[in-house]
Amino acid sequence: MHPKTLLSLALAVGIAGSSVAAQGKLPSQVSDFYSKNVSLIQKKDITGLEKLYNANFASDYVSYSAPDKTGKVKKKNRSQDVESTKKAFSYISNFSKAKATITKFTVSKNSITVFVTADLVGLIKGAPDKKVHTLAILESNGDTWVKVGNAWKLKVGKSLSNKTTVDGAPIAG
């Protein structure tokens, strides 16, 4: 498995938790989602993540990767994202850093756009050599939430940029 794909779900849905640099008020359901998401990722709790995503993702949820060097963007639905995360968690032994910041958000009557910067560092088992390597990911995301009844649902998770390194060296994407 290519290391850059290891945390596509976690980053596509925009993990967040600590700080907010924006005006207005983000609905608690949305801000709570990000706090719970980062906590569950740190614990590698796939069952908890599945429950969180099932409760908060729109039925037609999609995620988009940041463009690779050729400009190609990968699109995934909810079940594909969950499967990618399960596979990724099998390679990651632990997270030494999981920090995310909501950098901006806009709230309208029926939609919310949330921009998140995520910084993750974890240990992975290397594919060909079976040695432990340090995976570092710095990613910016833009999420779109929509109002469904009285609840907010995450409709689109979009990676805007991604810088991934293994043992400090950039990897091809």
Domains of the chain: 3-170 (3.10.450.50)
Residue of higher predicted confidence among 133 and 171: 133
pLDDT on residue 165: 93
Average pLDDT of every residue of the chain: 84
Residue 96 has pLDDT above 90, yes or no: no
Burial class (CB in 10 A: 0-12, 13-18, 19+), 40: buried
pLDDT on residue 106: 95
Residue of higher predicted confidence among 146 and 173: 146
pTM of the model: 0.81
- pLDDT level of residue 127 (50, 70, 90 thresholds): low
Residue 34 has pLDDT above 60, yes or no: yes
